[in-house]
Structure 1
Amino acid sequence: MTFSQPAPTSAGAESPGRLLDNSPSRDRLRANRRTAHAAFIWVMVFLAWHIVWFLTGLNAPAAADHHGVARILFYVFSAVVYLMVVVGTLLPLALANQSWGRRIPRWMLMSAAWTGSALLSARGLAGIVDDFVRAIGVLPNGLTGLTTAQTLGTDHPSSWAVFAGCATDLLFAIGGLLFGLAALSFQRASVRLLA
């Protein structure tokens, strides 16, 4: 790390100095903030996309579609998804070195960021591949084995429904990439600060 000249303190001792603006550590911190803020912006876009889905009347899972144990599992799954949304919204801000984020152990932030990246990437890439193999006819029922009617609610979906499904898959993949970049950048910045 590059430090400025130590400044005398009131007691006559020297302070450890501060990082120069052009130091490699400062660059890592800036990169960390940029990638974390990019991940946060993605979260906001992704939440807005869900509002678009709702306002345009696209199919979404509902508790009324399930009965018995399936309904209970639906509620449990929904609670887990809502928890992931809350964590996923706050995590980029914590990675951006917010004062409250520095109180969270590094291993927890790293674990959450890499897990989020893996889950978002897996969901996005699986959806993209599923859409692709359906579209070219290699697997008419995609990777999941589900028919178009089962995935989109009708045998003849509107072009908007098809576009929205593909856009959602792409958004998941982009989110995985951004959370991965934020995790990597945080890892590099925090390792350097610990050294």
Structure 2
Amino acid sequence: MIYKKWGTRPSSVRSKRTWPGYASFVWVAVFILFHIYWAFGGRFGLGDASNPIPPLPTNLSEWIYFYIVIIMFAAGTIAPLATVQSWGRFIPRRIIYIACCIGCVVLILRGGAGFVDDFFRTTDLLPNGITGLTYEQIYGDKHISTYTLWSSRAMDGNFFLGGILYGLAAWFYHSRI
């Protein structure tokens, strides 16, 4: 059967192809809610390190980075939802696809780099990891708890999961183009 419009497919076929867009949106919404929670002093998910949240920017380059991240949050919220909502048709398809691909790459690199850095630091192959930083420089404490280590690993896994979801959203969206 040939479908004349994207929106006329049976819901079972559509849902099989749209779930990554919705899942990516839910992932980023929860990610943003956690950042708001942490901004107001919440500590769940950060471990028990004394210095888990970076301070506000203090110079021009830090402020530029800060605003780039805010823009990425906004694009990362809109892009996966645009893959599955009718209003997404008003945004050029290539932009939506590229935004989801960039989200996939950035999140997988962030999560994967965290895993690799932690692996090298934990096994003492590179005591300062691939970043060149000690645990004390990262967390503000010379000796960190297992809870903090596993919180950090869970955070890396969360970034990796987000990357996979964005990649799937891009893949399924591209297959509908």
Q: CA offset at residue 163 of structure 1? A: 2.3
SS at match of 2:52: coil
SS at match of 2:86: coil
**2:115/2:153 contact within 8 Å kept:** yes
Which among 48, 53, 60 is matched to residue 53 of structure 2?
60
CA contact (8 A) 2:51 2:140 kept: no
Which is bigger in relative contact order (C-alpha 8 A, separation at least 6)?
Answer: 2
Matched letter for residue 85 of structure 1? F
Structure 1 residue aligned with 2:10: 21
RMSD: 2.3
* TM-score between both structures, scaled by the size of structure 1: 0.77
For residues 49 and 159 of structure 1, the distance between their equivalents in structure 2, rounded to whole angstroms, comes to: 21
Alignment of 1:32-111 (within 5 A): 32-51=17-36, 53=38, 54-56=41-43, 59-63=52-56, 66=58, 71-96=59-84, 98-111=85-98
Letter in 2 for 1:60: I
Equivalences for 1:129-144 in 2 at 5 Å? 129-144=116-131
Consecutive unaligned residues of structure 2, counting only runs of 5 or more, are 44-49
What is the CA distance between 1:166 and its match in structure 2? Answer: 1.3
Equivalent residue letter for 2:62: F
The alignment partner of 2:126 has SS state of coil
Asked if residue 175 in structure 1 is aligned to residue 162 in structure 2, the reply is: yes
| Matching residue within 113, 122, 137 for 1:126 | 113
Cα deviation digits, residues 118-148 of structure 1 (max 9, x gap): 0111011000111111112111111111111
Considering only CA atoms, is the larger Rg found in Structure 1 or Structure 2?
1
Which digits, 9 at most, give the CA deviation of each residue in 1:63-88, with x for residues without a partner?
36x4xxxx111111100001111111
| Structure 1: runs of 5+ lacking an equivalent | 5-15, 191-195
Aligned length: 168
